[in-house]
Structure 1
Amino acid sequence: MSPANINEKNMFRNYPDIVTVSQLQEMLNIGRTYAYKLLKNQEIYNKKVGKEYKIPKIGVIEYVKRNE
């Protein structure tokens, strides 16, 4: 599927607007180490609040579209 065919409104619709690292792992079917690598390298937009990452779902969608 090309990025033009991705329906953003339906993508990850069962997830909240701000996701956790565990949810990110589920969404992308990746391991914990790789999830943290993506976040630390800012490949997926996020903010760190205290010890927790706050990951906007739209950042995950943008990552998928860039890497499709």
Structure 2
Amino acid sequence: MADTSFPHLGWNPAPGSPAEIAALRSKLTASASALGTAYRLVDADPRPQADVRPSRLLEALL
């Protein structure tokens, strides 16, 4: 953490290091992207989609 002095307050009102916050943001962004990709892969239907238009179904019956 940054050791910034605030003699008039007696404490640091905004503790933290901008570099540490930027690194954490980068890691969280990467995690969110990976979770989004995992969700799309799990949610995807691997089977080919059938053409279920009524005209196609009628052609298949004839």
The interval holding the TM-score normalised by the smaller chain is under 0.3
Q: Which has the higher contact order (CA 8 A, sep 6+)?
A: 1
Structure ranking higher in strand proportion: 1
| TM-score normalised per structure 1 | 0.23
Which structure has the larger Rg?
A: 2
| TM-score normalised per structure 2 | 0.25
Structure ranking higher in helix proportion: 2
